[in-house]
Amino acid sequence: MSDRSSGQIDTVMIEKRLFPPSDDFASRAAIGSPEAYQALYDAAQADPEAFWAKLAKEELHWFEPFTKALEWEPPFAKWFIGGKTNVSYNCLDAHLQTERRTKPAIVWEGEPGDERTLTYEQLHAEVCKFANVLRSLGIGQGDVVSIYMPMTPELAIAMLACARVGAVHSVIFAGFSAEAIADRNNDAQAKLQLTSDGAWRRGKVLPLKETVDEALAKSPTVEKCVVLRRVENDVAMQEGRDFWWHELMEQASADCPAEPVDSENTLFILYTSGSTGKPKGIRHTSAGYNLYAKKTFEWVFDYRDDDIFWCTADCGWITGHSYIVYGPLSAGATVLMYEGAPNFPAEDRFWEIVEKYRVNVLYTAPTAIRAFIKWGDDHVDKHDLSSLRLLGTVGEGINPEAWMWYHKKIGGERCPIVDTWWQTETGGIMMSPLPGAIPTKPGSCTKPLPGVIPSIVDEALEEVPADHGGMLCIAHPWPGMLRGIWRDDARYSEQYWTKVPGKYLTGDNARCDGDGYYWIMGRIDDVINVSGHRLSTIEVESALVSHDRVAEAAAVGRPDELKGQAIAVFVTIKGDAEPTEELRQELRAHVRKEIGALASPDDIRFTAALPKTRSGKIMRRLLRDIAAGKEAAGDTSTLEDFSVLAKLRQNDE
C-alpha cells in the first residue's frame, strides 16, 4: 500500500485469468506472435520519427513529399512537414485503380430496416458531387462546416467532402440541444450547417431541422444550411438560407479532383465537454491523423480484406470519425453503418444485424454490453453469431465479469477481445492487444501500440514501480495527437502539458503490472480517498459487477468525518426483481470478500438507471453530489436522460 503523500493509487483487484488467441487466429493474423509485436514496438521506440516517416511514405498519397517527420516545440507538434496530401483521396481515390474499386465501402442499415450499399466507386462519386456542392456554397479551405445529421451514409459523405475541399468539419452528435449546437457553432465560427429533416430514434422522429432552426437563430456566423431528406416530415425552409440536399446534388458534377492540402491542414474539430463543462474543440489535422487512424485500424482489428467490420459508435464521437470513416476507408475495408437504437424494434437488433450481414468484427462500448447483460441472454440465443471472429470495446473500462460475458456469449469463446484505450485527443487507439499476438486479461487494455510510449507518474512526477497506480502520461508525440484546442492555446497547454512537464497528461490513472500490462483506473478526478488509501472506482465497481445479480455499478467518494471519504455505490440489478435489504447485505459481504474490507462500500443504493453522457459514460461527478446530499451542481448539458437524476434524488428521500 502506498503512503498518502506520493499520490499513488492502491490496487485491490487481482485478475489472474489469461486468454491467448487460438492457434488458428494467431496463424492467420498479420502480427501473429508476442515476438512480432515486440519487434515492431522496439523499432518504433528506438526511432519514432523514422518509424512513422517510413509508414507515412508507404501508406498515404503525397501530392508533394514531406521533408521532415516531426517538428516538436512543446507543446506544439507538427508531423510530415511540407508534405501535401488529401484525406479524402487516401480514403477513396487510392482504391479506384485497385480491385477494391467495386468492393462495398459502406453497407448501411436504417433503423426502419431500409438498406443501402455504396461501393468505393459509388462513394467516391457521391463525395465528389457533394464537394462540388460545398464549393458552390462558397466553402473552401479553412471554412468550418457544422454537421448535425443522423447516421446515414450522407453523414460520412459530408465529412469526406469537407476533407476533399480542405474545409474543416465539426460533427455534433444529433441528440444535442439547440443550445449546445449554437455554443459549438459560435466557438468554431461555423459558416455552413448541414442537417436533415429528422432522424429515426426507436421508431419515432427526432425533429433535427427544428432544433437546427433554433440553433441558427443564435449562430450568427452560419450563412447557409443544407437539409437532407430522411424521414419525410414537414419542415420549414428559410428562403435564401436553406437548401435541399437532393436538389443541390442533382445539379452537381461528379468530377472534383481532391485539393492538395498541407499535412497540418485542420481536418476537423470535435467538441468534448471535459470535466469542467465548457466544451472544447479538439483539433486534428490531416496527414498524421490519417496515418494513425489507418495503421491502428489495421493493427488492432487485424484487418483482412474480406471482413465486414462493424463499429457501433455514432459519427458524432471520435470513435465514429476514426473507426467508421477515416481508418477503415483508408485501409479499403467494408464498414457496416447502422442508424438506430440497439433495442428497436427489440433488444436483439444488434444480433439480428450480425447474423444478417455476417459481421466478422464487432466494436462496441461497455455501456452497450452491460445493457445486453441486463436485457438477458434470450435475445442473443435467437441468432447465429458464428461469423464473428474478433470483438472490441471502447469508451470506459470493462468490468472483468462483463468481459467474460462478452467473451462467452457473443464471442463463443473463440474471438479475442480488444479492449482499446484512447481518447478524443489521441485521435486513435493508444493501448490495446494486437489480437493475434497478445494474450488478453479481462479488464486490461494490455499493451501500448507501436510508437506509443506511456509513462505513469506520481504527484512528485516520479515514475511509479510495477503494480502501483499513478497518472497516465504519454512521453513522446505521436502522429494522431491533437494539435490543440480550437482557438485556445492557453487552455491546451494548461490542460495537457503543465502538470507533468514534457509529457502529455491523459487525465486518467493507470497501473502497469509485472507482465507489462496496463490497467486503466479511471479519471484522476474520480479517485476515492479512504483513510489515506486512494482507490480506483473501477475496482470497486468490478467487484460489484462480479455478483450475479448486478448489471451495472458506479462507485464514488462522499465526505466522511472519520475516513476523509466513504465509498458510496449506485447499483443496477439484472431483470425486474425488486432489490431487498438482504441483497444489500450480500453485496457488502461480496465486495469485502472480493477486494477486502477497505474497499467495502459504506452506502449501497439501488437504482433503475445511472446518469450517463450521451456517449454512454457513467457521470460519477453527478453521483458524487447526490451521495453527498447536494444538488447535482455542475454542468449537466451532456447528460443523456434527465429523468435519471430526478429519480436518484427521489430515492434519496
Type of residue at 63: F
Under a CB-based contact definition with an 8 Å cutoff, are residues 315 and 171 in contact? yes
Residue among 32 and 397 whose Cβ is closer to ligand WT7: 397
Residue among 565 and 638 whose Cβ is closer to ligand WT7: 638
Q: How far apart are CA 562 and CA 582, in angstroms?
A: 27
Report the residue from 62, 350, 405, 422 that binds ligand WT7 according to the rule CB under 6 A: 422
Residue among 86 and 420 whose Cβ is closer to ligand WT7: 420
Residue among 445 and 554 whose Cβ is closer to ligand WT7: 445
Residue among 256 and 313 whose Cβ is closer to ligand WT7: 313
Report the residue from 272, 360, 367, 546 that binds ligand WT7 according to the rule CB under 6 A: 272
Under a CB-based contact definition with an 8 Å cutoff, are residues 216 and 186 in contact? no
Report the residue from 183, 197, 348, 396 that binds ligand WT7 according to the rule CB under 6 A: 396
Under a CB-based contact definition with an 8 Å cutoff, are residues 582 and 596 in contact? no
Residue among 126 and 508 whose Cβ is closer to ligand WT7: 508
Cis peptide before 465 (omega within 30 of 0): no
Q: How far apart are CA 377 and CA 367, in angstroms?
A: 16
Say whether 583 sits in a helix, a strand or coil.
helix
Distance of CA 532 to the CA centre of its chain: 33
Category of 297 on φ-ψ map: left (φ > 0), alpha (ψ -120 to 50) or beta: alpha
Say whether 505 sits in a helix, a strand or coil.
strand
Q: Which stretch binds ligand WT7 (CB under 6 A): 3-11, 352-360, 374-382, 389-397?
A: 389-397
Residues 457-516 that bind ligand WT7 (CB under 6 A): 506-508
Terminal Cα-to-Cα distance of the chain (whole angstroms): 37
CA Rg value for the chain: 24
Residue among 146 and 322 whose Cβ is closer to ligand WT7: 322
Report the residue from 37, 309, 421, 478 that binds ligand WT7 according to the rule CB under 6 A: 421
Q: How far is the CB of 495 from ligand WT7 (least distance, A)?
A: 13
Report the residue from 397, 470, 477, 557 that binds ligand WT7 according to the rule CB under 6 A: 397
Q: Which 8-state DSSP code applies to residue 326?
A: I
Judged by CB under 6 A, does residue 395 bind ligand WT7? yes
Q: Which of 436, 457, 456, 595 is nearest to 518 (CA)?
A: 456
Q: How far is the CB of 279 from ligand WT7 (least distance, A)?
A: 12
Q: How far apart are CA 562 and CA 554, in angstroms?
A: 23
Q: How far is the CB of 443 from ligand WT7 (least distance, A)?
A: 9
Which residue's C-beta sits nearest to ligand WT7?
424
Residue among 85 and 285 whose Cβ is closer to ligand WT7: 285
Instruction: Write phi, then psi, for 320 (nearest 5 degrees).
Output: -70, -40
Residue 47, C-beta contacts closer than 8 angstroms, at least 6 positions apart? none
Residues 295-354 that bind ligand WT7 (CB under 6 A): 317-319
Q: How far is the CB of 422 from ligand WT7 (least distance, A)?
A: 4
Judged by CB under 6 A, does residue 423 bind ligand WT7? yes
Residue among 302 and 425 whose Cβ is closer to ligand WT7: 425
Q: How far is the CB of 65 from ligand WT7 (least distance, A)?
A: 32
Q: How far apart are CA 381 and CA 51, in angstroms?
A: 46
Judged by CB under 6 A, does residue 542 bind ligand WT7? no
Q: How far is the CB of 522 from ligand WT7 (least distance, A)?
A: 7
Q: How far is the CB of 36 from ligand WT7 (least distance, A)?
A: 23
Category of 11 on φ-ψ map: left (φ > 0), alpha (ψ -120 to 50) or beta: beta
Under a CB-based contact definition with an 8 Å cutoff, are residues 207 and 233 in contact? yes
Q: How far is the CB of 148 from ligand WT7 (least distance, A)?
A: 18
Q: How far is the CB of 511 from ligand WT7 (least distance, A)?
A: 12
Q: How far is the CB of 338 from ligand WT7 (least distance, A)?
A: 18
Task: Tell me, by CB under 6 A, how many residues bind ligand WT7.
Answer: 21
Under a CB-based contact definition with an 8 Å cutoff, are residues 279 and 272 in contact? yes
Say whether 424 sits in a helix, a strand or coil.
helix
Helices (H), 519-596: 537-545, 581-595
What string marks each residue from 548 to 577 as x (binds ligand WT7 by CB under 6 A) or -?
A: ------------------------------
Under a CB-based contact definition with an 8 Å cutoff, are residues 479 and 289 in contact? yes
Say whether 646 sits in a helix, a strand or coil.
helix
Q: Which stretch binds ligand WT7 (CB under 6 A): 112-120, 157-165, 237-245, 422-430?
A: 422-430
Residues within the interface to ligand WT7 (CB under 6 A): 272, 317-319, 394-397, 419-424, 445, 506-508, 520, 523, 615
